[in-house]
Structure 1
Amino acid sequence: MHSETPATEEPAVARGAVAIITNRRGELLLHLRDDLPHIAWPAHWSLLGGGCDPGEAPATAIVRELDEEAGLTTDSLTELFEITDHRGSGQIITFFAARWDGDETRLPLSEGVKLQFFAPEHLDILTIPPFIRDGINRYLAARPS
């Protein structure tokens, strides 16, 4: 007698996407997250972005998240690399890069406390999630000087 054992599917790993947005001065746009205990990395400076909806590609998610969180659109998103947020959400995060030269104080922020451009040399004093700091450092090390 032959018994069929159904294949068990591994649950899909949660995914997310963030954008390293720079301006013409080489400053990076950071997002001060809300100080709420139920979110990952409360009260930390991070990059704009968020989780992918079920079946959503990271490239689609980052466009949606930039619009939802800050009314921000850019047509120059470039996919960079992935980093896992081992100490927070556990998500595999796809990093993107884009350039935007607007006034961040005029963006309609719908999540978080504040958006602000920072020069790379000032990032060391900020409280930034480790995986975000790793991604920013990797990006800065690879870009032409």
Structure 2
Amino acid sequence: MNDQKIHVAIAVLYRQNQFLMQLRDNIPGILYPGHWGLFGGHIESGEVPEVAIIRELQEEINYTPPAILNFSCYYDEKVVRHVYHAPLTVELDQLVLNEGWDMGLLTPQQVLQGECYSAKAGEYKPLGAPHQKILLDFIKLKPYS
């Protein structure tokens, strides 16, 4: 990971054919403010992606999956997204949202439509384009079934 791109580790967390997503804060200057995205974040210097995703899930929602599996890696001009997947084995009310505006379980139909209602925001919010693409690929391949 010695190139100039930002490396992040993100997780597709699934439960009963739904996918846990975070409604990102509506703060100017962050990527995809006010959009639904997958949980995860920057890989720290010297950290491997597999460790980073566990750390990020603990920090963001106080969740440690029973196992985390590699799904794929997505590259664009600025970011390398190391994508993992794991089952969500707890109810939403057992998670603690420490980062973001809202969270929710989205159906494949909502992912395809590219938006989901947030009660906290009081409106429909779009999915971030890279996160929607990752989930659509994941749904198509069904590595969780």
User: Shared fold (TM-score greater than 0.5)?
Assistant: yes
- Secondary structure at the aligned position of 1:38 is classed as coil
C-alpha displacement at 1:105, in angstroms? Answer: 3.2
Correspondence 1:39 to 2:30: yes
Number of residue pairs matched by the alignment: 132
Correspondence 1:128 to 2:127: yes
* Greater strand fraction, Structure 1 or Structure 2: 2
Aligned to 2:40: 49
Aligned to 1:109: 97
Aligned to 2:141: 142
User: Which moves more between the two structures, 56-65 or 120-129?
Assistant: 120-129
Distance 1:53 1:38 in 2: 20
Correspondence 1:14 to 2:6: yes
Q: TM-score, normalised by structure 1?
A: 0.84
Q: Could you list the runs of 4 or more consecutive aligned residues of structure 1 that deviate by over 4 angstroms after TM superposition?
A: none
Larger radius of gyration: 1
Q: Deviations over 1:88-108 (max 9, x none)?
A: xx2200111100132213311
Aligned to 1:58: 49
Q: Give ranges in structure 2 of 5+ residues lacking alignment.
A: 116-125
Alignment CA distance shift 1:125-1:91 (3 Å): closer
User: Which moves more between the two structures, 54-63 or 28-37?
Assistant: 54-63
The question of whether the paired residues in 1 share the 8 Å contact of 2:22 and 2:104 is answered with yes
| Percent of aligned pairs sharing the same letter | 26
Q: Give ranges in structure 1 of 5+ residues lacking alignment.
A: 1-9
Q: CA RMSD in A?
A: 1.6
Distance 2:76 2:20 in 1: 20
Aligned to 1:95: 83
- Secondary structure at the aligned position of 1:137 is classed as helix
Distance 2:128 2:97 in 1: 20
